[in-house]
Amino acid sequence: MAELPTGTVTFLFTDIEGSTRLLQEFGDSFAALLDTHDQLVRGAIAESGGVEVRTEGDSFFVAFASASDAVRAAVASQLALTAHPWPPGGDVRVRIGIHTGEGRVGGANYVGLDVHRAARLMSAAHGGQTVVSEATYTRVRDDLPAPVSFADLGLHRLKDLAQPERVYQVNHPELPSRFPQFQSMDAHPNNLPVQLTSFVGRKKELADGLELLASTRLLTLTGPGGTGKTRLSIQVAAEAAEQFGDGVFFVPLAPISNPELVPSAMATSLALTQVSGPPLDHLKRYLRDREVLLVLDNFEHVLPASRYVAELLHSTQGVKTMVTSRAPLHLSGEQELPVPPLPVPDPDAREPLDVMSDHAAVTLFVERATAARPHFRLTAENAPAVAAITARLDGLPLAIELAAARVRVLSPEAIAPRLEDRLALLGGGARDLPARQQTLRDTISWSYDLVPEPGQHLLARLAVFRGGAALTQAEEVCGPTTELGIDVLDGLDVLVDQSLLRSSQLNGEPRVVMLETIRDFAQERLDASGETETVRRRHALAYVALAEEAEPHLLYRDQVRWLDQLEQEHDNLRTALSWALERGETDLALRLSSALWRFWQIRGHLSEAEERLGAALALRGGEPAHRAQALEAAGGVAYWQGDMETALDLYQQSLELTRELGDQARIANALVNLGYPYAYQSESDPETADRLFSESLTISQQLKDEAGIAKALYGQASVRWISADWGRARQLFNESEDLLDRADEPFLRAWALYMLSNVEVSDSRADVALPLLVEGIGLFAEVGDLTGILFSLDLFTTLALQGGDGERAVQLIGATNRLRETSGAALADLSRRDLPGLDKVLDELDPGEVEKLMTQGQVMSLDEIVDYALS
C-alpha cells in the first residue's frame, strides 16, 4: 500500500446503496457486479492520485493530499457508474462522502474525528449522491473542474458527532441532482445526546443490536460498568432512527434513585409537560398510536421500575424500548444482548503494526491518547506496551480511556508496568463482583491514586452530587480551601485532566459531571472518610439556598433562566430533599419543597410536587412560617390539579397559621389563594370569594403593595366574570394588568390578558379580544405554561367559529384535545368553554375531512400548535 498522506488530508468514503437487495436478487451474479463496481471506482481513484486506506465489502476508504483531486475522483466514479450498462434491475448506485481535516496516522490507519465525519457524511447520503463538508467545499469552490458545481444542503447533525456540519452536494450536468431528504439526525425527532468522541469498534454489536431491535420490542444491553453500553445504545438508536416515525428518545436514569420517578423521567425526555395525574397514564395515552424508540439508560439501580416498562409495552403497539443495565429486567419478551469488552491483541504475539491497529481496543487507546497528546502515534516501539495495557484492562472502554489519558505525562512503556504493579497491589474488588468490574474498580483507583491528596478529598466530596455540579454549588459543598487543601476550581481542573470528571458549561458557568462508575468509587472513599453526613448536609443546604434564591424570580421577567437552572439541577434538588426527609430535617424539607412548587407546577411535575410536599408536611415540628409556606404550596398544587376541595382545606390551614404569624403581606396573599377554590369549586361561592379578595385588597392598599393590589383586583375581576358582569370585570382586569405590567410580573399578567380576552369574547367583542389573546399566549409559550396555552386555545377555537372558519376550529380542537389528554390538565377541564356553532360545522363538513383536520391538530408539537393559533 502506498504511504498514507499526512497533514491536511481529504478523506473519501463510498458505499453501494441497497447492496443487500442486489445480493438477494442476483445471487452468485452479484460478485460480477461488485467486481465491475470496484474496477470503475478504483480506476477513478488512481487517476486522481488517491490512496486506498482500506476496502470493506462494497465500500472504499480513500485519502487524498488534495481536496480538488478527491472531488474529481468522486465525479469520475459517479460518471463511470452511471454510464455503465448494468443488467436490468442491477443499477449500482453509490453514495460518496468527502471531508478535509487532519490526517493523523495511528499504526496503519487514520485516527480522529475527521475520518468519522467523512464516513458519516457518506452514510447520510443517497445512492448516486456525492456530498462534501464545508471544510472541503471552501478548499475547492474556486478550483472546480468544469462543469462541476455545488448545492448548499444546509446544516445537519450527523449520527455520532457533536457539532452540526454544513453539507454541500456535488452536481454535474450528466448526473442526477434531485435526491430525497438528506438522512441526518435532523430528519428524525430525537433527543439523543451529542457525542464529543468517535464511536470506535463495536461493528458486530451494532449490527446485532439493529437486527434484534427489528424483531423485538424490549432489547436489553447488559454487561458490567464501563463496557460502553450507553455509547452503543446511542449509536444503535441513531442508526435505527428512520424506523421510528415519531422519534427516538434517550432517558437518562443514572441520576434517579427512586424507581417511582422512572415514568416522570420518560415523560421529561419526551418533552411531555405533565400537569396532573400519574405520569405512566399520560405516557400510555400519548404513545398509544405512536412509533417511538425509548432508550432507558442505566436501569440496574431502578429494577423495580421494570413493571412500568411492561405496562407501557402492553398498552402500546408501536413503542420499542432499548435498555442498558448491568442486569436483565426479566420481563416476558425481553431480548438480552450482552455487551462484551472490546477485542484486544495478544500482548505476547508481537503482531505487525497494521494487524495491531485493527483491534478495537487498540484503536480506542490510540484515538483517546491522540486527543490527550496530539502528536502521539502508535509505533513499532510502543505497540507492545499498548497491547499489554489494553489486555490487562480486559478491553474495558472506560478503563482504556482512563489509561490513555495518562499519555499526557507517561509513555505507554511507562504506563504498562505501573498498571501491572497497581493491579497486583490492589488485588481486585469484592469477590461477589464480576471480574471485569473488579478490574474497572482497580483502574479508577489507579487514576485516583495519581491525583494529589487534596484532589482525592475533593473527588470524594463530589460524590454527593447527582447529574453534575455547577461551580457555585461545588465550592459551597466541597470547600473551603483551608479545609480541602486546594482551591475547588483548581481541584476540578486536576480531576478533569485526570479524566475522573467531564467538564461542560450551563449559561456560561462551569459545570462538571462524574461518570456513575467513578461516582460509586468516590462514594466509597467519602464513606471511608467519615464525612458523608457532613457533606450531605452541606449539599442539602446549598440546594435549599439555590431554590430559595430562584423562588422570587419564578413569576417575573427573568423566570425562564431560573426555571432552566432548576430543571438542570432537578436531580440534585431531589437528592437534597430526599436527604432532608430521610433525616427528619423538617425545616429544610418544608423550605425546599415550598420553594420548588412553582417550578414543579410550571414545568409539569405536579405529581412529584404533591408527593414531596405531602411527605414534608407529614414531618413533625418545624417553624410555623415554613409550614405555612408549605401548606400554601401544597394548596397551589391541588388547585392546579383541579382538586378544589383539597386546595380549600390546605389554603385554609395556611391562612390560619399566617394570621398567627402576623405578616400582613403574606396574609393578603393567603387570602387571595383561598378565594380561588371558593370561586371555582363545583358549587361556586362567589360571595365568600369576593369577601376574601376584598380583605386582601384592603391589606395590600395599606401596605402600598402594587403586586398584592393587582392580585386582589384580579380575584375580584374573576368573580365578576363568573357572574357575567362584563363591564366591571373588564375594568378590574384592566387595572390588574396595568399594575402587573408595572411590577414586571409576566406570569399573572399573562393570565390577566387571557381573562381580559375572555371577557371580550363573552361580550361579543372579538376584534378587541384577539390582540389581548395573542399577547397572553405569547407570554405563556415563552415559559412553557401548558395550562395557560390550553385555556388560550379554547378561546382561539371560539374566535375561529365566530369568524366562520370551521376547518381551523376543528384543527385547533384536535390539537387541544391531544394536549389535554397527554397532560392531564384537570384545571383546564374545569374551565373549558362551550363552543357555539361547532355542531353546525361538524354537520357541514365531510366526516373524512373532520377526521383529517383533527389528526392534523393531534400530531402538532406544542410550538407548532402555538404558531398555528397565532398564524
Instruction: Please write down the HEC assignment for all residues of 767-809.
Output: HHHHHHHHHHHHHHHHHCCHHHHHHHHHHHHHHHHHCCCHHHH
Q: Do 764 and 869 reside in the same domain of the chain?
A: yes
pLDDT higher than threshold 90 for residue 728:
yes
- Span 349-376, average pLDDT: 80
- Residue span of the structural domain in which 807 resides: 745-871
Distance CA 36, CA 90 (A): 12
Over pLDDT 70: what percentage of the chain? 92
Is the pLDDT higher at 199 or at 246? 246
Residue 428, pLDDT score:
36
Q: Do 313 and 426 reside in the same domain of the chain?
A: no
Number of H helices, E strands in the chain: 40, 16
**CB-CB neighbours of 181 under 10 Å:** 10
* Residue 383 lies inside a defined structural domain of this protein: yes
In angstroms and rounded to an integer, the radius of gyration of the C-alpha atoms of the chain is 31
Distance CA 209, CA 418 (A): 37
Least reliable range by pLDDT among 289-303, 316-330, 361-375, 747-761:
361-375
* Residue 579 lies inside a defined structural domain of this protein: no
Over pLDDT 90: what percentage of the chain? 40
What does the mean pLDDT of the chain come to?
86
Contact 156, 30 (CB under 8 A): no
Q: Which of 268, 303, 338 is the last residue of a domain?
A: 338
- Span 579-604, average pLDDT: 94
Q: Which amino acid is at 144?
A: L
Residue 834, pLDDT score:
64
* Residue 587 lies inside a defined structural domain of this protein: no
Long-range contacts of residues 498-503, Cβ cutoff 8 Å, at least 24 apart: 498/405, 498/447, 498/450, 498/451, 498/455, 499/401, 499/402, 499/405, 499/447, 500/402, 500/444, 500/447, 500/448, 500/451, 500/459, 501/459, 501/462
Which H/E stretch holds residue 218? strand 218-222
Residue 326, pLDDT score:
80
Q: Do 758 and 865 reside in the same domain of the chain?
A: yes
Would you state the cell numbers that stand for residue 831, as one nine-digit string? 374551565
Distance CA 690, CA 679 (A): 8
Distance CA 667, CA 687 (A): 19
Q: Do 80 and 60 reside in the same domain of the chain?
A: yes
What is the tally of structural domains in the chain?
A: 5
pLDDT higher than threshold 60 for residue 427:
no
Residue 436, pLDDT score:
38
Which residues make Cβ contacts (< 8 Å) with residue 206, sequence separation at least 6? 232, 235, 236, 239
β-bridge partners, 156: 165
pLDDT higher than threshold 50 for residue 706:
yes
* Residue 584 lies inside a defined structural domain of this protein: no
Q: What share of the chain is helix, strand, coil (3-state, %, to 5)?
A: 60, 10, 30
Q: Do 250 and 119 reside in the same domain of the chain?
A: no
pLDDT higher than threshold 50 for residue 631:
yes
Residue 559, pLDDT score:
85
Burial class of 592 by CB neighbour count within 10 A (0 to 12, 13 to 18, 19+)? buried
Residue 238, pLDDT score:
84
Q: Do 295 and 218 reside in the same domain of the chain?
A: yes
Q: Which of 446, 470, 503 is the last residue of a domain?
A: 446
Q: Do 106 and 74 reside in the same domain of the chain?
A: yes
Q: Are strands 130-133 and 94-106 parallel, antiparallel or unpaired?
A: parallel
pLDDT higher than threshold 60 for residue 696:
yes
Q: Do 367 and 472 reside in the same domain of the chain?
A: no
Q: Which of 460, 495, 530 is the last residue of a domain?
A: 530
pLDDT higher than threshold 60 for residue 430:
no
pTM above 0.75, yes or no: no
**CB-CB neighbours of 262 under 10 Å:** 23
* Residue 225 lies inside a defined structural domain of this protein: yes
Least reliable range by pLDDT among 382-386, 498-502, 862-866:
498-502
Least reliable range by pLDDT among 80-94, 194-208, 595-609, 622-636:
194-208
Contact 127, 93 (CB under 8 A): yes
pLDDT higher than threshold 80 for residue 104:
no
* Residue 708 lies inside a defined structural domain of this protein: no
Residue 818, pLDDT score:
76
Give the CATH number for residue 481.
1.10.10.10
pLDDT higher than threshold 90 for residue 527:
yes
Q: Do 292 and 383 reside in the same domain of the chain?
A: no
Give the CATH number for residue 321.
3.40.50.300
Cell numbers 497491547 label which residue? 387
- Span 346-356, average pLDDT: 76
pLDDT higher than threshold 70 for residue 26:
yes
Is the pLDDT higher at 448 or at 836? 448
* Residue 213 lies inside a defined structural domain of this protein: yes
* Residue 15 lies inside a defined structural domain of this protein: yes
Distance CA 862, CA 604 (A): 14
β-bridge partners, 295: 250, 322
- Span 530-557, average pLDDT: 94
pLDDT higher than threshold 70 for residue 128:
yes
Q: Do 25 and 116 reside in the same domain of the chain?
A: yes
Q: Do 208 and 117 reside in the same domain of the chain?
A: no
Q: Do 147 and 28 reside in the same domain of the chain?
A: yes
Give the CATH number for residue 180.
3.30.70.1230
Residue 422, pLDDT score:
41
Would you state the cell numbers that stand for residue 46, as one nine-digit string? 488512481
pLDDT higher than threshold 70 for residue 822:
no
Q: What is the DSSP letter of 342?
A: P
Contact 362, 386 (CB under 8 A): yes
Distance CA 855, CA 858 (A): 5
Contact 5, 85 (CB under 8 A): no
pLDDT higher than threshold 70 for residue 683:
yes
Which residues make Cβ contacts (< 8 Å) with residue 578, sequence separation at least 6? 257, 258
Q: Which amino acid is at 302?
A: V
Cell numbers 453514495 label which residue? 95
Burial 98-110 (b: 16+ CB within 10 A, else e): bbbbbbbbbbbbb
